[in-house]
Structure 1
Amino acid sequence: MKNNYLYYLIFFCLISLATLYVYTNNVSEKSNYLINANKEFWSIKKTKIKSGQDAYMKPDGFIEYYNSISKRLDQTTSDYKGGYRFSELSKSFKNSAQARNANLEAEFISRGPGNVGGRTRAIAIDPADDTHCTWIAGAASGGLWKTTDCGETWENISPDLPNLSTNSIAQAASNPNVIYVGTGEVFAGNSSFVRGDGIYKSTDRGVSWTQLSSTVSNVDYESVNRIAIDPTNENIVMIATNTGILRSTDGGSSWTKVFDSPNGASVQDLQVDPSDFNIQYAGVNSIGIYKSTDGGLTWTNSSIGISQGARFEIAVAPSDPNIVYTSTWVSVAGENNDLTILYYSSDKGQSWGQVQVQEGFNSNLFLNEQGWYDNSIEVNPYDPYEVFVGGVNIGKYNLDPATQSVESQLISIDEENTGFLSFVNFGATYIGGTINVSDGNLNPSQNPVSVEIRWGADNQQKAHRFTVPSNGGSNGDGGAGISPTEYSYQDYVDVPFEVWDIENNRQLMVSFRDQEDNGIFNLNPRDDENDPSLLTAREYLYIHDVDYDASNPNSDISTTSGGVEFANMYYFWPILATGATWDPSTFNNSILRLNIGDVPVVASEASAVYDAYGNYQGQNSNSLHPDHHNLTFVKTNEENEEFMVVNGNDGGFGFSTDNGVTFVERENGYVTSQFYGADKMPGSDKYVGGMQDNGTYVSSGETVDATNNYNFVIGGDGFEVIWNSADTDFVIGGSQFNGIRRSTNGGQSFSSATNGITDGPFITRLAGSSKSPDVIYAIGGAGVYKSTDFGGSWTMKPIEDERWGGTASASD
């Protein structure tokens, strides 16, 4: 028993030392610096963004950080097993019980902050509560919380569960006692962000929870992005995950995969027709919309008219389920050039048109540069032509379906007997990032048409063969990043296909990049493990808007600098499909068809509902936090067509009772902030912490518990912090890219502490020792910055080792 007691004591001491420094005097007096600090923070942030001095607070850095700390440097994936959080927590409960038997009392106590919420993606509103004020919410890394007064107060309803990453919640309409919760937050493409532990279920309205054993230790359930329950049967459940769509008919005891994600694309949204559970829609990353008409048993691509987009979020109009919307985002090179696109369907997703806003209004800022991560959409429950889209900002579209035009664009591709072909998503504009149309600056086609690439039988034509320098490109290895002007024309050779303009029955010129410089066109499979730069799989194809000549190459293509792009109509990157063999003699009537069609364009009047950074008219600018992940609408007065809005964002909650015109924040008591780092004032009950997308805060008062109102002190993303162990007047923290700031008055105010620092990683790292409290370190590109006066000045200490990763070493 004594040994057990000793081991347990050592264990808790180590935990304590690793998580908290023991630090100093309480500074109870607030300075003027703290008055209206939150408003000042956003004011400064808006000014810097508009002037180009600062960037939007992006989650990319945290994703990179989280991925790095969960694996060794020589690993590509983490060794942590599914369900490890639940398993380790169970062990800790057992150890805690043993410790109490040994007369050792050890307890973890929440220290807040009680006034700074964390990122919230999942919201369920109890259908049996006529006041609509009973909500269950899931935070990205803060567990499950419940309110019965519309967010005025909150209760943690998952204290005995691991610190869940909650991505989705669904409450059964037929039996509200039944609630399903999906874990894992993986909206960063397919990389692991906060990996989940399957699905939890409650049959008593959230009082107790059971982890569904069928979902543990299985990659299919590491990111449960959406959950839908049959409104007449709580045991029929659909889930969308990063690997596909799964269906259960026994309340989650077992599951059947009904849809496999094509090429590993995440299924990031799943919505159901409110009038017919048989009709379901799924948003598949970089592909578009899939639809089921048999309750989720089978799925077909239903994306005609959708030509661009990465993450697709879906909303079905409650008052007219024929009308369906999807909001999506397109990355465009350059600052603030990304597109927010809203597609509209009036026939239950059979075909889609694009919504166009009034001239002079920039709706692209609704999602802005984070539409891959912040993307939410909902329709006015009374008006099918009023739709809200939330991203960095929140915007609203009022459609005029009677005012339509058409626009010719690439609408789809057809493949016949092309199982040997696959395509690389290289961030192109169309068809899931795989095809560019009228690309380049050398007389691109002004009238792209539908074409067929015909393989097999006697299909053969000449093509312009280009090579690239073996030491060219962004990595100096002849792979990525080689400019078209560096392509060298070699000769006019046979290729095992023909390219035809099927609208005008004319054959077209084609060029290809002969990556292997072997004189022929051939495709190899993608092999990321052995060939991460894909140096053997870069036979790009260029189709030109030039009539084919079987005898002579086109001089504009073959002799002009960058001629590989001359009169470009289509450009894409084909590869050999996994498991296929490259043998053109075996291809039989294989056709790749690129379809140009007329897409309806619907007029709308767009406006801002929430203006995060002063790009519009400042709507609700001081009432909400940027970065919106959930919009939930609930009817409150049908006679007057009134509804309330519950909004999940990076700071917790926004709440509107007037149809989304005005908002208030509802995060007090919702203790869910994500901390990069925290520290304690030596000798006092006072704390400082840096939070993801919420800045750096210092606790208030002389005693601190979960309800403590912290004071805002540093803007930007908050990162690691240090409270000087010898002189408690000194505290240091910072924002992204080594935006380090220091306090000399016990955390009341902070000023810049970057003398000698010229660069830094997104994740600002700080390290020090209580034995030499004035000596601290930060990471730079060439090595480590060292300060001997607690941030007063810094000196670079170079690391001349090829293993040093520069600012990318921020998480090492």
Structure 2
Amino acid sequence: MTRQSLPFFVLISFCCCANAQSKNDSVLNEFNNFFKPAKWRCIGPFRGGRSVTATGVVGNASTYYMGSTGGGLWKTEDMGITWGNISDGFFKMGSVGAVSVAESDPNIVYVGMGEHAVRNVMTSYGDGVYKSTDAGKTWKKTGLDLTQQIARIVIHPKDPNIVLVAAQGALYGPSQERGIYKSTDGGLTWKNVLFVNNKTGCTDLSMDMNNPSILYSSMWEHGRLPWQVISGGPGSGLYKSTDGGDHWEKMQTGLPKEMGKMSIAVCRSNSEKVYALIESDFTNEVQGLYVSDNAGKSWAQVSNDHRLTQRAWYYIKIFPDPLNENTLYVMSAQSLRSTD
């Protein structure tokens, strides 16, 4: 099937389904059945290096950004058919750990440098945060130079000047430049709003887009020695803020005592439901997927499937479907999906 003919056949599938079915989900079912035989394929950018971050643009299904761990930041405006590097000449380093586009203004893009995947060979580090106000045509450095590894950037959905950065921090030794940083002036100044200790950094950060004052974070005590990856310690934990990130409270009810690397996400379709993927004690099967149905007050384990936290120090990420709280994607050694 040629690329030019695809929209025509998709249109036919929608029309036939609409005429044959009266239920609200009939069009979606027909669409899914049409694409069921399709196979995943690589759409590039080729030789861009490993990648730990990518994002789309709200309201524009054709545009995506992809950060590589050695090749800088790339952008496509045609659904991945072609890609172009947009960081050369602006970024001093090539390792990108996080990229985020403001929902209220797609011209504003923030990039956090330094991959957050603690590999057992080389892990590339970064030099802080860059910002673009013209959709990636030009960039300016906005600070946090010594954070080295940045795992996530979240932007207020209505005010792009309010930004929070999950700084995982230096890998090979203790560092004060860790935790969660917040800016209320578009990155001109930053304040460290959550610091646990000099070995604990932030691996994930999730904002309730229905109430941006509420945020969730996962903190990870870790380190890398020539002979060992240290994952977990007393500094690890899950936290919640109800005042825009200025203050944080540790969540504990129903969670395992030992915690390694984690990922956390609040559902956009239901702010009460929060998911957490937790590396923990495999012997007692307390690792895996946890869920809270009361906005973090209490938690329950719903799956101890080992695939979810396989090589957690490297792969672990979780993404709920923004339209369906029961559909969940996990980026582990495999790409996994649950619909229940």
Pair in the same fold by TM > 0.5: yes
Deviations 1:538-566 (A, max 9, x none): xxxxxxxxxxxxxxxxxxxxxxxxxxxxx
Partners of 1:236 and 1:365 lie apart in 2 by 36
**Alpha-carbon distance, 1:383 to partner:** 2.5
Structure 1 residues 219-258: Cα deviation after superposition (integer angstroms, max 9, x where no partner)? 3x22222111111111111111121111111111111111
Task: Find the residue that maps to 2:62 and give its secondary structure.
Answer: coil
| Alignment partner of 1:365 out of 298, 302, 307 | 307
SS at match of 1:240: strand
| DSSP 3-state at the match of 1:344 | strand
How far 1:264 moved relative to its partner? 2.1
Task: State TM-score, norm by structure 1.
Answer: 0.32
Any residues of structure 2 matched to 1:105-144 within 5 Å, and which? 115-129=46-60, 132-144=61-73
Partner of 1:237: 163
1:581 corresponding residue in structure 2? none
TM-superposed CA distance for 1:344, in Å, is 0.4
- Aligned pair in 2 of structure 1 residues 316, 234: CA closer, same or farther (>3 Å)? same
- Could you tell me which of 347, 354, 363 is aligned with 2:294? 347
SS in 1 for 2:306: helix
Aligned partner (choices 252, 276, 292) of residue 326 of structure 1: 276
Q: What is the TM-score of this pair, normalised by structure 2?
A: 0.74
Q: How far apart, in 2, do the equivalents of 1:116 and 1:339 lie? A: 38
Q: How far apart, CA to CA, are the structure 1 residues paired with 2:249 and 2:260?
A: 18
Question: For 1:163 and 1:125, how far apart are their aligned partners in 2?
Answer: 23
Alignment of 1:194 with 2:130, yes or no, is: no
The amino acid that maps onto 2:50 is R
Contact 1:197 1:222 in 2 (8 A): yes
Distance in 1 (alpha carbons) for counterparts of 2:58 and 2:323: 18
Question: Take 1:140 and 1:381, find their aligned partners in 2: how far apart are those partners?
Answer: 27
- Judge conservation of contact 2:93–2:127 (CA < 8 Å) in 1: no
Question: Structure 1 CA distance, aligned partners of 2:180 and 2:250?
Answer: 14
Indicate conservation of the 8 Å contact 1:327/1:341, yes or no.
yes
| Per-residue Cα deviation, 1:679-736 (whole angstroms, up to 9, x for no partner) | xxxxxxxxxxxxxxxxxxxxxxxxxxxxxxxxxxxxxxxxxxxxxxxxxxxxxxxxxx
SS at match of 1:373: helix
C-alpha distance in 2, partners of 1:277/1:326?
A: 19
Q: Percent identity?
A: 34
Judged with a 3 Å threshold, the aligned counterparts in structure 2 of structure 1 residues 192 and 211 are, in CA distance, closer, same or farther, namely farther
Other structure's SS at 2:296 match: coil
Equivalent in the alignment of 1:386: 327
Q: From 213, 238, 245, give the equivalent of 1:278.
A: 213
Structure 1 pair 184–115 and aligned structure 2 pair: CA distance change class (3 A): closer
List 4+ stretches of structure 1 deviating above 6 A. none
CA contact (8 A) 2:45 2:83 kept: no
Root-mean-square deviation over aligned CA pairs: 2.5
Kept after mapping to 1: 8 A contact 2:130/2:141:
yes
Aligned to 1:252: 187
Write out aligned runs for 1:466-615 (5 A): none
Judging changes above 3 Å, is the alpha-carbon distance between structure 1 residues 226 and 254 closer, same or farther for their aligned structure 2 residues? same
Residue in 2 that maps onto 1:83: none
Residue type of the alignment partner of 2:327: E
- Quote the offset at 1:176 in angstroms: 1.4
The CA deviation at 1:144 is 0.7
Distance 1:114 1:345 in 2: 37
**1:149 equivalenced with 2:149 (yes/no):** no
Q: Contact 2:167–2:180 at 8 Å: present in 1 too?
A: yes
Q: How many residues align?
A: 272
Find out whether 1:183 has 2:117 as its counterpart.
no
- For 1:754-769, what aligned pairs fall within 5 Å after superposition? none
CA apart distance, 1:163: 4.2
CA distance in 1, matches of 2:255, 2:164: 25
AA partner of residue 122 (structure 1): T
Post-superposition Cα deviations, 1:438-471, rounded to whole Å, max 9, x if no partner, equal xxxxxxxxxxxxxxxxxxxxxxxxxxxxxxxxxx
Distance (whole Å) between structure 2 residues aligned to residue 376 and residue 263 of structure 1: 23
3-state DSSP of counterpart to 2:336: strand
Cα drift, residue 125 of structure 1: 1.1
Q: 1:386 to 1:124 in 2, by over 3 A?
A: closer
Structure 1: which amino acid aligns with 2:67? G
- 1:115: how far off? 4.2
The secondary structure found in structure 1 opposite 2:313 is coil
Report the secondary structure of 1:296's partner residue.
Answer: coil
Query: What secondary structure is seen at the aligned counterpart in 2 of 1:269?
Result: strand
Cα shift at 1:143:
0.4
The 3-state SS of whatever aligns with 1:138 is strand
SS in 2 for 1:366: helix
The CA distance in 2 between the partners of 1:342 and 1:309, in whole Å, is 12
- Aligned residue for 1:215, secondary structure, equals coil
Instruction: Please give the alpha-carbon distance, in whole angstroms, between the structure 2 residues aligned to 1:126 and 1:138.
Output: 15
Say whether the 8 Å CA contact 2:277–2:309 is kept in structure 1: no
Which one of the candidate residues 242, 253, 256 is aligned to 1:293? 242
User: Shift of the alpha carbon at 1:128?
Assistant: 3.8
> Offset of 1:203 from its aligned partner?
0.8
The answer (yes or no) to whether the contact 1:184–1:195 under 8 Å persists in 2 is yes
Q: Against the structure 1 CA distance between its residues 195 and 169, is the aligned structure 2 distance closer, same or farther, given a 3 Å change threshold?
A: same
Distance in structure 2 (CA, Å) of the matches to 1:153 and 1:265: 39
Alignment match, 1:223? 149
Opposite residue 246 of structure 1, the aligned amino acid is Y
Partners of 1:159 and 1:328 in 2: how far apart?
36
Say whether 1:375 aligns with 2:316: yes
1-side partners of 2:55 and 2:148: how far apart? 21
CA contact (8 A) 1:288 1:306 kept: no
- After superposition, the C-alpha distances for 1:260-279 in whole angstroms (9 at most, x for unaligned) are 12452121101001201100
Q: Please tell me whether the aligned partners of residues 281 and 287 of structure 2 are also in contact (alpha carbons under 8 angstroms).
A: no
- Structure whose CA Rg is larger: 1
Aligned positions of 1:256-271 closer than 5 A? 256-262=191-197, 264-271=199-206
Of residues 155, 162, 173, the one that matches 2:103 is 173
CA 299–133 in structure 1, closer or farther in 2 if over 3 Å, else same: same
**Structure 2 counterpart of 1:159:** 88
Q: Secondary structure at the match of 1:277?
A: coil
Distance in 2 (CA, whole Å) between partners of 1:355 and 1:394 is 18
Q: CA deviation at 1:300?
A: 0.8
1:180 is displaced (CA, Å) by: 0.7
Q: Is the 8 A contact 1:271 1:282 kept in 2?
A: yes
Checking the alignment, whether the CA contact within 8 Å between 1:267 and 1:283 is kept in structure 2 is: yes
Instruction: Tell me if structure 1 keeps the 8 A contact 2:214–2:243.
Output: yes
Q: Secondary structure in 2 aligned to 1:372? A: helix
Matches within 5 A, 1:603-642: none
User: Partners of 1:382 and 1:205 in 2: how far apart?
Assistant: 26
